[in-house]
Structure 1
Amino acid sequence: MFTTLLKEVGRGKRGARDLTYEEALEAADWIMSRKATPAQMGAFFIAERIKMESVEELEAFVTVCRNSAYRAPIQEGLDCAGPYDGRVKTFFASFATAFLLASAGLPVTLHGAKSLPPKWGVTLLDMLAELGIGKSQLTRDRVVQAAKATGVLFVDTEEWCPPLGELRGIREELGMRTVLNTAEKLIDFSHSPYLVFGVFHNTVFDRMSKLLTDLKYRRALIVQGTEGSEDLFIERPTRTYIVEDGEARLHVIDPEQFGMEATLPEKTEWSAAEQVETVEAVLQGTAHIGYVNQVLLNAAVRLRLAERAESVEEALYQCKALLESGAAWERYAAWRSSLLGEGTPSPIGSVK
């Protein structure tokens, strides 16, 4: 019974114990299938937050989320796993970066949902709505078609994993992060061998490194990025962990090392419209140099992570050329047109 599992994690900070992987699978199944009551689910989420989820518990929830989702090897590339509670104070560099990477031949999967607690920031869905792209344009067939043509796949997570949508109400009522905030980012809808994963606190590096090793990504980069996202800072160094072959190592990425450091304009809050405007300005080469450099650095590091360049320096050279030539903007324009139903674009370049 679920109450037995709940008692094990709910005995307080000193008395609670971590569930075994098998027990956590059972708990996750009770929650994802909504066999547990709302009160039981809320109690479990809070107890886990107090205790802190173990690697086995996190992996179990990822497994059940994956089993509850539509997943297909649509493209072998990079999965960008940022926070689903969005951005409030910082630029959404990953969105622009995706089209630059695709123009370099690296397919990218982006995913998200409507804003969630605790941050309630601007999400990718909010940004797509600014472009006139809503749920009716984000059908599975259409987003897969756009991905095959351009190399960028966007997944509305709650559409592809319906149980998460059905649990939204209780998550909103709790108003705090739960184990699902981690699990939903690791569903890996397109079976990507490479992952870039954002975290807020460096205290989770070790746990996340073990989890990503257990999930068998070929290479992964854990980033303590802007607002807990996978985006590297451009105005200062970023702490990251590289996870590969069962090992994890700290790697501090300093933009100054690559001559990329820049001061960003002072901005306390972003709207979805401002995010889209800046993304398009970056891809057209008219944005503030700080945002351009941030996208270039993130793209170069991710190309290197995905073994598409021998060094970050080589990748930077490649990315600058693609941005200046308009290739990244072409990807974005074709992807946007495809989702808006303005004609089916022919495949662009070589995206494998």
Structure 2
Amino acid sequence: MNLVAPPEHPFAQFVRILGKGKRGARNMTREEAREAMGMLLDGKVEDTQLGAFLMLLRHKEESAEELAGFTEAIRARLQAPAIAVDIDWPTYAGKKRHLPWFLLAIKALARSGLRILIHGGGAHTAGRLYSEQLLDSLEIPLCHNWPAVAKALDTHNLAFTPLGAWAPQLQRMIDLRNTLGLRSPIHSLARILNPLNAAVGLQSIFHPGYQAVHREASQLLGDHVVVIKGEGGEIEVNPDGACHLFGSENGSNWDEEWPALSSQRHVKPESLEPAFLLAFWNGEVEDSYGRLAVISTLALAFRALGEPRENAFSRAQETWSQRLG
């Protein structure tokens, strides 16, 4: 009786690269990462391999070359049309301690004439307030395809599109969070994608050390970005602490340290009341933390667009004061 061993699955090589012990494991090259993500997107991987790959990558911590290769594979398959966008604004973390004040900064920027694409990945973690839950109340258009995005940007300078509408395979990987017990690297990868090639990409990476890695990945891709450690993982400057900006433009990196805007830390609210955001937008209520968070986040956007810091804050104040005009 002849026993013939089955052939190795083509994706097994990538699991082996990441998981071959302390001495044998290594980072994937950019080309290997591109091929691996291509197989994942094309449905050529078993579910067991997907889970192993994501958790090994999470344990190892992804490199800039891997992130760049993953992004290239995704962009090559998007088939997104040419739609003009000024700022790419990913929102994947959800807020826990404070309201998502950054959404008001986005609305004010759109009112000033800037075209902003927001994209997010759904409510994957209990106990957090996600941008998708506030779209209706804040009158932010929800778009499930690229023609709808183009129309919303032309009409409102603003569009939100869920990750599942244009990259359902990635949304499925994010949704494995409660099955695997940990967030996968896809949560971070989604922030780099900039699917419509906006002039500027903003990114918030919470874990220390990853901000520079994400900047390097975007630099490899030739993208113009600013990366921060935003409040709660979202692109929102926390006015109670210093904020370091990791910038990259035209292949050159720059760094900038913004001091805290408040001499004392604000007390976080006992609960997050979404209706408060709209009331604040309309000038019906006041919130010292919220005002500082909105102004500094507006300034971040203008700084990313090329304004020096002082000018960026001046434009932020002007943009906010004119939001209802």
Q: Name the residue aligned to 1:122.
A: 129
Measured after TM superposition, the shift of residue 125 of structure 1 is 1.2
State which of 281, 287, 293 in structure 1 corresponds to 2:279.
281
Measured after TM superposition, the shift of residue 261 of structure 1 is 6.0
Measured after TM superposition, the shift of residue 318 of structure 1 is 3.1
Unaligned runs of 5+ in 2: 1-9
State which of 196, 199, 203 in structure 2 corresponds to 1:197.
203
Q: Name the residue aligned to 1:243.
A: 248
Cα distance between partner residues in 2 of 1:297 and 1:93 = 10
What's the TM-score, normalizing by structure 1? 0.80
Contact 1:111–1:154 at 8 Å: present in 2 too? yes
Cα distance between partner residues in 2 of 1:263 and 1:329 = 29
Q: CA RMSD in A?
A: 2.6
Cα distance between partner residues in 1 of 2:263 and 2:304 = 20
Measured after TM superposition, the shift of residue 329 of structure 1 is 4.2
What's the TM-score, normalizing by structure 2? 0.86
Matched, 1:68 2:68: no
State which of 216, 226, 229 in structure 2 corresponds to 1:221.
226
State which of 284, 299, 309 in structure 2 corresponds to 1:312.
309
1:114-263 equivalent positions in 2, closer than 5 A: 114-117=122-125, 121-128=128-135, 138=144, 140-218=146-224, 220-256=225-261, 263=265
Contact 1:87–1:123 at 8 Å: present in 2 too? yes
CA offsets per residue over residues 167-216 of structure 1, 9 Å max, x none? 35534311322221122222212211211110112211332221111121
Contact 1:242–1:250 at 8 Å: present in 2 too? yes
Tell me the number of residue pairs that the alignment of Structure 1 and Structure 2 aligns: 315
Contact 2:173–2:184 at 8 Å: present in 1 too? no
Measured after TM superposition, the shift of residue 12 of structure 1 is 3.0
Contact 1:86–1:123 at 8 Å: present in 2 too? yes
Q: Name the residue aligned to 2:6.
A: none
Contact 1:69–1:162 at 8 Å: present in 2 too? no
Contact 2:68–2:217 at 8 Å: present in 1 too? yes
Matched, 1:15 2:33: no
CA offsets per residue over residues 246-271 of structure 1, 9 Å max, x none? 23333211243xxx66753422553x
1:35 counterpart SS class: coil
1:185 counterpart SS class: coil
Q: Which residue identity is paired with 2:286?
A: A
| Closer/same/farther in 2, CA of residues 50 and 235 from structure 1, 3 Å limit | same
Measured after TM superposition, the shift of residue 306 of structure 1 is 0.5
Cα distance between partner residues in 1 of 2:305 and 2:140 = 29
- Taking only the aligned residue pairs, the percentage that are identical comes to 21
Unaligned runs of 5+ in 1: 331-352
Q: Name the residue aligned to 2:4.
A: none
Cα distance between partner residues in 2 of 1:64 and 1:53 = 16
1:44-55 equivalent positions in 2, closer than 5 A: 44-55=53-64
Higher relative contact order (CA 8 A, sep 6+): 1
